[in-house]
Amino acid sequence: MLSIGLNSGTFTINTELQNPICQKCNDDLKRNAVREFLETTCSYSVENKTCSRSYPACEVGKQAPVLDGLRMGKILLSVLTAVLGVTLYCVFNRSETKVDFPKTGYYGSGEPKPDDTSIKPFKIQVADKDIQDLKDRLKSARIGHQQLEDVPDFEYGFPLSTLQQWRDHWLNKYDWRKHEAQLNAFPQFTTQVEGLRIHFIHAKPPAGYKKVVPLLLAHGWPGNVYEFYKLIPMLTDPKKHGLGDKVAFEVVAPSIPGYGWSEASHKRGLSVFVVARIFKKLMTDRLKFPKYLVQGGDWGSVVANAQGKLYPESLIGVHLNLAMLNMAHPATFIRQIIGSYFPSLVFEDPAFSEFSLKKDLFFMVKESGYLHIQATKPDTVGVGLNDSPLGLLAYIGEKFSTWTNPSFVQAKDGGLEKFFTKDEVLTIISIYWFNQNILPSQRLYRESFHNPDYLKFQDMYNSAPTGVSYFPHDLVASPKELLLHSMNLTHYTVQKDGGHFAAFQLPKVLAEDVFKFAASRL
């Protein structure tokens, strides 16, 4: 509840608009264009499906009090004044925070030494003994718990019945060599940057395209470059996939250090901002692109956004399918508060007509337990996950369920095969397993959130032209109005469906938006 004090009294905002029994309390409000103010508030019981009788004005059949014109005018005037104040604040107080970020670092083993700047061809070759070790561990995996009789879905995490099905598939039907060959169809290379071996895919378009644009694709957690295996062909040969013939991309998709086939840091301090610097060096110093476009989701979106803040002169533009809000900026929080109660006054797109800060915060608290442990003690949880393929499957697989669509938590199979195949998800997990990535990948959270300049980085303005493709089931609701004061937003699209793993789930939808954004920049 939110109370607003006025000369004529105190009003309370009713946040339970969707409860059918309380609908009578909202009828008059709709007619008076002040939808969410009540002198008395209903307290709805989900369990009993009734309103609390301590609030008689909310009982079925009783009419809510009608706000008189004077009170309604004061309320609207207060809200409009706040909105105007926020707007002026955003226009005249864009973040001018600067960070004195080092131009280089060294994260290799031992004392600093010069990088080997050569670019070497790379081929994925998992040893037969490692494949057999995985099968042996799956066979002997210890499952000592019982599934709760009245919890058939993903409410408690990856349920036992579904876990056993996936274990059987991974052990008896999954063919790593098939997917290894699929990945090796992309040209791959390694080079050394800041003391670390960096792995990357470098896919070029076929001859015939008049305009070719370099594009850096940045992945996140718990993904890796395999997320892009359907997207890359669409970007490099759009004509073949019905995406036009005016522009094609020369795609560079590197593995974050500690992910995939990139070497993990040997020293503390490798934050996501260091990753942004390493990837920038890869594009401009190793591959000699004077300017390039960068696209990312999850950590990849933070990498891309950081490049827009640190190296805008090297970018054609930044495209994000996850736009993190600048919570260090007061205007963000103020707009969220007002938008939660008067969405039409703050947000233009009807997709945010039911925007709720309370709902978003509750979802983040419920789903961010992994983040807290990875940002504090990654080596503790990492040991167990690195030793148990079944544990790794449950830990990562659950994210591909809930983060694709929060409602999938209510499905017995977690909705995992609605957009992905078992083989696709298991390939993501197998890459973590064979490379022993899970522990170093989790360290990125600690290094990033413990960076002394983290809040300053968050408050920096991204001056590079930036496009956002918003997928409605992603982790963060990102209306464009909450982004304008933190980035140079020149392109914004609200998609009809999709969640956190857009490149993996809806590659053509994402590709279409990247092409639209690129067209606006060329």
The tens digit of pLDDT for each residue in 6-63 reads 333 333 334 444 444 444 444 433 333 333 333 334 444 444 444 443 333 333 333 4
Closest among 463, 141, 469, 417 to 317, alpha carbons compared? 463
What residues does each domain of the chain span? 3-90, 120-331+361-521
Peptide bond into 222 cis (omega under 30): yes
CA pair distance 502, 494, nearest whole angstrom? 13
Positions marked active-site: 298, 445, 500
CA pair distance 29, 37, nearest whole angstrom? 7
Lowest mean pLDDT among 53-62, 95-104, 272-281, 363-372: 53-62
CATH fold of 120-331+361-521: Rossmann fold (3.40.50)
CB 199 within 8 A of CB 205: no
Residue 78, pLDDT > 70, answer: no
- Tens digit of each residue's pLDDT (9 = 90 or more) over 272-309: 999 999 999 999 999 999 999 999 999 999 999 999 99
At 197, is the secondary structure helix, strand, or coil? Answer: strand
Mean pLDDT of all residues in 365-372: 86
At 73, is the secondary structure helix, strand, or coil? Answer: helix
| CA distances from residue 62 to 14, 23, 28, 54 in whole angstroms, order as listed | 16, 10, 11, 14
